[in-house]
Amino acid sequence: MFKYTGIMNVSAHEFFDVLLQQICADINQKTGRSYDTQSIMSGCRYKLKKRVGPKTVESIIEICRPILDKRVETRYSQGDYRYSLIYEINELEAEKIEVTYIQQDGKEKTGLLTRLYGAHTTGQRFKAFEKYIKNNRKK
């Protein structure tokens, strides 16, 4: 399990909305279907088939029912391999949130270098996400 917590100077609603938009864009790009944020609010599940060498591998991606402005969880499985990505949002002030990112991959322990690299890249992703939200706010 990997866990990272960061502070962003955006509202919980802005973060939640943009996160769902990014998830929808990812689903649409991978499946060719058309999902919008409202269509995944009750949760959804889709399958992908991908050619890996001579075999065709099926993956299942599930978007668990999001909790408005509080939590988003996605689960991924391919054969026996499973992991989940969780974003927990805690509003501190009107334009300030604490976001906890949790990645669970079924392994009991994650190595120190993996955790340090994960914290660094996740911190960079959080900063980029915050910048994107601020630059694209509706006025």
Average pLDDT over residues 112-134: 72
**What is the pLDDT confidence band of residue 64, given thresholds at 50, 70 and 90?**
very high
In this predicted structure, what is the pLDDT of residue 109?
A: 52
| CA–CA gap between residue 26 and residue 15 (Å, rounded) | 17
Confidence of residue 113 (pLDDT cuts 50, 70, 90): very low
* CATH of span 2-135: 3.30.530.20
Residues 18-51 have pLDDT tens digits of 999 988 888 888 888 888 888 889 898 888 888 8
Q: Sign of the CA dihedral 113, 3, 6, 30? A: positive
Nearest one of 26, 51, 46, 50 to 36, comparing CA atoms: 26
pLDDT of residue 2: 82
Break the chain into its structural domains and give their ranges. Answer: 2-135
